[in-house]
Structure 1
Amino acid sequence: GYRRVTIDDVASRAGIGKGTVYLHWKTREALFWAVLQREALRLFDRLVAELGREPTLALPHRLMRVIFLEGVRRPLVRALLLADAAVLGNLAQDESVRAAQQDLAENPDYLQMLADEGILRPELSGVTAQHILASVARGFSNADELGEDDGLPLEARADLLAYVLRRSLENDTPPDSADLAKLNARVTAMFQAMADGHREQLQRAY
């Protein structure tokens, strides 16, 4: 966690002097944010690659299933999803971290894309859809922290998340191939822009 890790710890584990760390990152916050960005970048790159292989991944039930599984496998991605202060410390309240969290779990641009292509349920507004998406995603990701171990395998939990989001957010009529292709292109471009932004910031740090 952020509170317990010092620059001395990082330098010692890396086998370098503390001054070398400070050549790149002037504060512990800057170093920790770079680590979070690296994890977010890896996720965004993976999503872009998978969207290129599978158009239906642009649908919320498919997309959030992948993000949920990545959150389990990548503790820092999970910490971003939950704004986990135990892991993130003061960064949990940072505007940059909040923006990254929104990118992952409740992106209003993404929800507008769903509405534009006729995929979002017509009775839902952007605000209500955003609330559903964020609440469901966090609830599934936070179940372990709440002691809700029901013995379900990880893949079964991911399938349940997909089921809930498909029934609550997506139109009953599946999108046609043209609408799905347009959504996929827009979602791919969105994640590519996110990846490029994080990559540029990380390159400047080095």
Structure 2
Amino acid sequence: MVKRNTTNRETRILDAAAGLIAHYGYDKTTISEIAREAGVAKGAIYLHWPTKEELFDALITREMQHLMQDLLSRVERDSQGGSLPHMYRHALFAMQSNPLICALYTQDSRILGTYMHQQNPRRYLERFWFGRSFVEYMQASGLIRKEIDPQGLAYVLSIIAYGFTSIAGIIPPDQAPPMEIIADTLDAFLIHGVAVENGDTENGKQILRQSVEFINQQYEKSNSEESVTK
């Protein structure tokens, strides 16, 4: 019972921090404001996280896990979700729905503030994005053309994701095409240039399930190690 109450309190604190930091930024958000928004005493936050930096570490870890679960849920609901075009499409939509993850990916100084210099926030994304190993697994499962260099493709996919999340700083949103058109165009590019026709998309879903499970285990391991050192 005590554990459940503690978990609920942590969730309220992290929810409050997520909303405030996404709106005002890391530097302008105080522990007092987070406590007030969460409906808890300021001291209650320090029981869980001794510093604002550690609170934000926990928040980013949670948001990354939410992102991966969101991606997996979208892929599971899609009959073709295990193909690279559909999987990548869902990943971009999942990222777009999470302002903190977008800020992390684009290194948005307005939101991340001094946290960018205190930590290496990109270390979280290194565990998530479609890297070389993921591409190689998809190739071995007959879902990506084998003549394509896996490192090169992983790099190009990262370029697309970065552009997708940061293009608003170059092209005003009111001049951009609707999101569905962007996603459909990306689908066409990946279908005709990268994906294998009639590949078994269930294999792709299984690769993603295993990847998400592995990444979650890495986060849990990191959290356990940090708890021991405190």
1:56 and 1:81 map into 2 onto residues whose CA distance is 27
Structure scoring higher RCO (CA < 8 A, sep ≥ 6) equals 1
Partner residue of 2:181 out of 142, 156, 166: 156
Per-residue CA distance 1:107-153 (angstroms, 9 max, x = gap): 23211212222332333222211111000111122221223432412
SS at match of 2:147: coil
Aligned length: 199
Please identify the structure whose Cα radius of gyration is greater. 2
Per-residue CA distance 1:164-185 (angstroms, 9 max, x = gap): 33344324x331x3xx333321
- 1:182 matches 2:182: no
Per-residue CA distance 1:2-39 (angstroms, 9 max, x = gap): 12212222123223332211110122111112222222
2:77 and 2:45 map into 1 onto residues whose CA distance is 39
Match of residue 145 from structure 1:
169
Identity over the aligned pairs, expressed in percent? 23
Structure 1 residues 168 and 83: CA distance shift in structure 2, 3 A = farther
TM-score (norm: length of structure 2)? 0.73
Structure 1 unaligned blocks of 5 or more:
none
Structure 1 residues 72 and 46: CA distance shift in structure 2, 3 A = closer
Partner residue of 2:147 out of 123, 127, 132: 123
1:193 and 1:79 map into 2 onto residues whose CA distance is 24
2:128 and 2:185 map into 1 onto residues whose CA distance is 19
TM-score (norm: length of structure 1)? 0.80
RMSD of aligned Cα (Å): 2.7
Asked if the contact 2:84/2:144 (under 8 Å) is kept, the reply is no
Asked if the contact 1:105/1:137 (under 8 Å) is kept, the reply is no
